Structure 1
Amino acid sequence: MSATPSYKPSRSLGLYLRYLAMIVLFGLWAFALNVLCALLLPLGLERRSPGSIRRILADSMRRYTRLLAMMGMGRVRFTGLDKIPAGPCLLVANHTGLLDALFLMIERPQMVCVFKSSLRRNPFFRYMIRQGGFIANRDGMESLRAMEKALGEGRQVLVFPEGTRTAVPPLNRFKAGFGWVAKETGVPVCALLIRNPSGLLCKGGGLFGRYAFPFTCEFRYLGEFRPAPDEPPPLFARRMEDFYREQLAKEDFSLWPK
């Protein structure tokens, strides 16, 4: 079923100015936390207290989303995530906007994210990513082995099989790397559907795009999947992609910036 927004979104100047203020606040927070991570790097905080940076990230995003709601900018909703198994698994999701992973950390603070490798040079996230123990997505077999290692340590790993934000709705073609990891490790693939009907921070929308507000961003757990014993990873990835395409409709993208 489509998630056509039930509210009446607006692109008024007042809402846009409020949005710009929230973007500035987010940038200041990210830069400050990144500097803190850089200063703590020599102390080996992640080795001494595993997951501490991820907990700080999750708590910060929880406060930020509350402020967004108070300002009338929009809400982030989570449906069924309490049904995700507690042990190691691959969290697989479509990728609608820049904040998808950070929003999801509110509910899954100890997950490890597979991130776009260019963020390693980003002044707002560089040391935050390093301290958080996240995994770059363009290191080939090395990144797949890093995912295996994290799963072997009992962690949950978030993967966006599209490789980047959705460029042509409803989905980019899925890459098969997550299927290979699922096959090698035997962990379940837990499917999450992200609906972002306003297209907040979608690909091509830009940081200063005139998005429709108030936004809704929903994270819904769809169930657990595993590759069949004789199913090659590319075919499993295609099966998962087809499943996601069935969940999405044109109405889910009707307000996205053209």
Structure 2
Amino acid sequence: MRGLASILSRLWRIPMTGLCFVLFGVGGVLLSLTWFNLLTLFVRDKCVRRRVARRSISLSFRFFLSVVKYLGLLDIQIHDAESLRRERGCLIVANHPSLIDYLMLASVMPETDCLVKSSLLRNPFVCGAIRAADYLVNSQSETLLPQCQQRLANGDTLLIFPEGTRTRPGEKMTLQRGAANIAVRCNRNVRIVTIHCTEHMLGKQCKWYDVPPTRPVFTVTPGEQVAISRFSDAPGQEPALAARRLNQYLLQQLQNVKPPMAGLNDASALS
């Protein structure tokens, strides 16, 4: 009976996963064509428009993830979400195992900034949200560091996935040095966040219909806040060397993501 229940569960989750992809795509296009365009037209203050857009994105992600959970496609546990909401003026650095990592974090961090790939500006499903929220784009190399400095100084949190793309299963994790360079040169602390999933789903080499035999559980766990002074305050420490040392430390913390302890049940409302 258990085997039959597993088969029936998987047969249900495959079409429902496709439905959720359609829901996300249609929702993204509709929000871009209507709500985010209205914000651009009628909210002239750029800071207010950015704040409203980011909160709107957070609410829409919470709704979408609630639908995904209601349909039984996956479970989500976000531990100590309040500590993430309280963060100000620091970098949030996370590993990147799946397609929904940003959705989970942004759903509980309604005003976070994000460093996005320039290719997403050509994606009709998310480009409107990116522009309305005024996210930082990684192709703006000449102005990126000053923009990061200004936003972090204003109390923004900046979310970065230093792998640059989703983790490739079976391959050794590598981190780009951008996040470490920003932290060192802007003199800002780094909060490490680890994301664990019980099954391989929505990863780099997964198709949407690659549904695992059992319903996966995603767990988001905030880790330590790394004081940047540990890496930048040494006598004669050059910024490039400090960034290299910080990057190595982040790699050590992120490359061996382990399942959360069973006793950690202080999850957010998304659980």
Range into which the TM-score falls when normalised by the shorter chain: 0.7 to 0.9
More helix by share: 2
User: What RMSD over aligned residues (CA atoms) do the two structures have, in Å?
Assistant: 2.3
Indicate the residue corresponding to 1:17 in structure 2. 15
Equivalent position amino acid for 2:256 in 1: E
Secondary structure of residue in 1 paired with 2:255: helix
1:211 deviates by 4.0
1:207 deviates by 3.4
Equivalent position amino acid for 1:216 in 2: V
Distance in 2 between the 1:88 and 1:111 partners? 10
Distance in 1 between the 2:141 and 2:198 partners? 32
Distance in 2 between the 1:45 and 1:196 partners? 41
Equivalent position amino acid for 1:55 in 2: R
Indicate the residue corresponding to 1:240 in structure 2. 250
Indicate the residue corresponding to 1:174 in structure 2. 175
Over 3 Å counting, the alpha-carbon distance change for 1:179 and 1:188 in structure 2 is same
Instruction: Map 1:22-37; keep pairs closer than 5 Å.
Output: 22-36=20-34, 37=36
Equivalent position amino acid for 1:75 in 2: D
Distance in 2 between the 1:58 and 1:77 partners? 16
- Alignment gaps of 5+ in structure 2: 260-271
Over 3 Å counting, the alpha-carbon distance change for 1:190 and 1:169 in structure 2 is farther
Secondary structure of residue in 2 paired with 1:67: helix
Over 3 Å counting, the alpha-carbon distance change for 1:90 and 1:212 in structure 2 is farther
Instruction: Map 1:87-166; keep pairs closer than 5 Å.
Output: 87-166=88-167
Higher gyration radius (CA): 2
Deviations, residues 178-212 of structure 1 (Å, cap 9, x unaligned): 11221122221000001123233211213343345
Indicate the residue corresponding to 2:264 in structure 1. none
Deviations, residues 148-204 of structure 1 (Å, cap 9, x unaligned): 221122100001111111124475311112112211222210000011232332112
Distance in 1 between the 2:53 and 2:31 partners? 9
How many residues align structurally? Answer: 242
Secondary structure of residue in 2 paired with 1:114: strand
Equivalent position amino acid for 2:255 in 1: R
Indicate the residue corresponding to 2:41 in structure 1. 42
Over 3 Å counting, the alpha-carbon distance change for 1:244 and 1:105 in structure 2 is same
Equivalent position amino acid for 2:204 in 1: K
Distance in 1 between the 2:105 and 2:44 partners? 23
- Alignment gaps of 5+ in structure 1: 1-7, 250-258
Distance in 1 between the 2:20 and 2:51 partners? 27
Contact 1:101–1:113 (8 Å) recurs in 2: no
1:18 deviates by 1.5
TM-score by structure 2 length? 0.80
Distance in 1 between the 2:56 and 2:190 partners? 26
Secondary structure of residue in 1 paired with 2:245: helix
Distance in 2 between the 1:163 and 1:144 partners? 17
Contact 1:46–1:132 (8 Å) recurs in 2: no
